[in-house]
Amino acid sequence: MSKHDTIVAADVLVTSPGRNFVTLKITTGEGLVGWGDATLNGRELAVASYLRDHVAPLLVGRDPARIEDTWQYLYRGVYWRRGPVTMTAIGAVDLALWDIKGKTTGQPVYQLLGGAVRDRVLTYTHATGWDVPQLLDSVDTQRERGFLAVRAQMGVPGLDTVYGVTREAAGYEPAGRGTAPAEEVWDTAAYLRHAPGALAAVRDHVGPDLHLLHDSHHRLTPNEAARLGRALEDVDLFWLEDVTPAENQEVLRHVRRHTTTPLAIGEVFNTVWECQSLITEQLIDYVRTCVTHAGGISSLRRIAALADVWQVRLGPHGPSDVSPVALAASLHVGLATPNFAIQEYMGYEPLVHEVFRHDWSYADGYLSTGDSPGLGVDVDEDLAARFPYERAYLPVARRRDGSMTDW
């Protein structure tokens, strides 16, 4: 192999094997291929265009080994910094280049990050039930699958739909296909009346050992969040997620003053700078930034390093809307990063595992990567091509008076 390989192509695949995924494929002159995930739920084509129209032409001719320089080039060089579309595109490039570096050296990516600091990565999955008996059944199903940590979401009496919950207690897909978003009606007071009792019932049912998590999905005011955190103290949550909208981080001080329920935030953050004050002021316990949406492995490691100083740990986003390529990358970071606490794993439909063949696996509550060079994921491009993009949107939520609220 020559000393400096060169990027000869950067192609974007958009496929919808049950849901939309955007994938970046970088090819080098030596014939190596690196894969990156560029999926931004409900805004997929914006990232596809950003990559195809603006980034791919800049990558051709570059040295794939210069991962950090390429990150800086795409971040600083663009002038228009940050934002989910830009950072997801940079994240995809970063993942693909780490994949190539692994293949160049014959090493799995976690080895290039310093080697394993743990044998496997603790994971949590989702349990949902419209009413408490259904929720308990769903939690039991996940316990039977070996999960040691479960996120519990429940319906709310008086509402027809609730984010992340189906009446059949089946899995849910956050984005619905169609020409416009579904509209849901939300009532915070009804949720706050119901959620503490439902979560206490789950704790009574499972006993003290199971890690329980809950996601409020950005819908509370600071005072409502403080009250909910206090009401849940005895439930002993692993974390309470996204209590308030992500923009105004100062409000977390009020929540912190009133509860020791651990807080997790950050699935919609895109850079270390958005995490900065939450970490350095210890306003959260877990940072949820996703390897795809926060600029890739290089960027997630920077967030982890800052968080480590303040004893904040990582619990990255891992819903069905980031692809198995992203999950692989997150696990390589998880294996090699001391303050990585837990990885969300919502799981995928069987077809997704066929399109994205991967060497990571789930067993007994933990996720493990294999030892294939790079990220350990290969994409079946022929199969992917059989499932073209289908327009899909996350739902929107309105209060009972019809005004929009946070989703």
* Residues marked as catalytic: 163, 217
User: Which listed residue (224, 267, 274, 285) binds ligand KDG by CB under 6 A?
Assistant: 267
From residue 205 to residue 234, the character string flagging contacts with Mg ion as x (rule: CB under 5 A) and all else as - is: ----------x-------------------
Report the nearest approach of ligand KDG to the CB of residue 372 (Å). 27
User: Which listed residue (129, 275, 321, 374) binds ligand KDG by CB under 6 A?
Assistant: 321
With binding defined as CB under 6 A, does residue 215 bind ligand KDG?
A: yes
The alpha carbons of the chain give a radius of gyration, in whole angstroms, of: 21
Report the nearest approach of ligand KDG to the CB of residue 268 (Å). 8
Cα(85)–Cα(295) distance, integer angstroms = 10
Question: Under a CB-based contact definition with an 8 Å cutoff, are residues 48 and 14 in contact?
Answer: yes
In 10 A of CB 141, how many CB atoms? 14
With binding defined as CB under 6 A, does residue 396 bind ligand KDG?
A: no
Task: Decide which of ligand KDG, Mg ion, none touches 373; Cβ closer than 5 to 8 Å per partner kind.
Answer: none
In 10 A of CB 352, how many CB atoms? 19
With binding defined as CB under 5 A, does residue 321 bind Mg ion?
A: no
Report the nearest approach of Mg ion to the CB of residue 215 (Å). 4
Specify the residue for token string 């094997």: 17
Residue 91, judged by CB atoms within 10 A of its CB (0-12, 13-18, 19+), counts as buried
Cα(341)–Cα(313) distance, integer angstroms = 6
With binding defined as CB under 6 A, does residue 44 bind ligand KDG?
A: no
- Taking the least distance from each CB to Mg ion, the nearer of 37 and 242 is 242
Cα(212)–Cα(264) distance, integer angstroms = 13
How many residues touch Mg ion under the rule CB under 5 A: the total is: 2
| Sign of the Cα pseudo-torsion (155, 160, 162, 164, in order) | positive
Cα(8)–Cα(30) distance, integer angstroms = 9
Q: Is 77 helix (H, G, I), strand (E, B) or coil?
A: coil
With binding defined as CB under 6 A, does residue 174 bind ligand KDG?
A: yes
From residue 322 to residue 351, the character string flagging contacts with ligand KDG as x (rule: CB under 6 A) and all else as - is: ----------------------x-------
Judged by the rule CB under 5 A, the positions of this chain that interact with Mg ion are: 215, 267
The residue ranges that bind ligand KDG (CB under 6 A) are 41, 174, 215, 217, 267, 317, 319, 321, 344, 394
